[in-house]
């Protein structure tokens, strides 16, 4: 069984995926500080570079990931590795993951 370095948590947040000839809304299905699994109506190919906006209801603005690499793609779902996040958004993502972890533990 594969053990991830960063735990992933099931979520359902609106997301936007922007890249070369890609401008698509979708859903974030699971999330970690290092990446996510997502779905979109657009076909997102493996190895694509994307900018991702994650709309978390408790935040007034979306979490912005400036650079994410599509590591796998299957139908409408795909996996992203986050490789570039502004410091403020990285801190908000870490705070969100801590809050989700605390909620699941209780």
pLDDT for 1: 42
Pick the CATH number of 9-100 from 3.30.70.1230, 2.30.130.10, 2.40.10.220, 2.60.40.420: 2.40.10.220
Q: What is the dihedral of CA 14, 62, 16, 38, to 10 degrees?
A: -50
pLDDT for 68: 98
- 106 residues of the chain, pLDDT tens digit each: 445 677 899 999 999 999 988 899 999 999 999 999 999 999 899 999 999 999 999 999 999 999 999 999 999 999 999 999 999 999 999 999 999 999 877 6
What is the SS3 assignment for 74?
Answer: strand
Nearest Cα neighbor of 81 from 40, 55, 48, 43 is 48
Would you list the domain boundaries of the chain? 9-100
pLDDT for 21: 86
* pTM of the predicted protein model: 0.91
The conformation of residue 58, written as its DSSP 8-state character, comes to: T
Count how many Cα atoms sit within 13 Å of the Cα of residue 22 in the half-sphere of its side chain. 20
């Amino acid at each position: 069984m594969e053990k991830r370095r960063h735990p992933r948590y099931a979520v359902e947040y609106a997301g936007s995926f922007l890249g070369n000839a890609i401008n698509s809304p979708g859903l974030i299905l699971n999330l970690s500080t290092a990446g996510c699994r997502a779905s979109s109506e657009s076909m997102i190919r493996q190895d694509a570079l994307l900018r991702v906006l994650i709309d978390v209801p408790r935040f007034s603005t979306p979490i912005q990931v400036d650079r994410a690499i599509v590591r796998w793609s299957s139908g409408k779902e795909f996996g992203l590795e986050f490789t570039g996040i502004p410091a403020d958004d990285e801190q908000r993502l870490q705070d969100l993951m801590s809050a989700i972890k605390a909620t699941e533990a209780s």
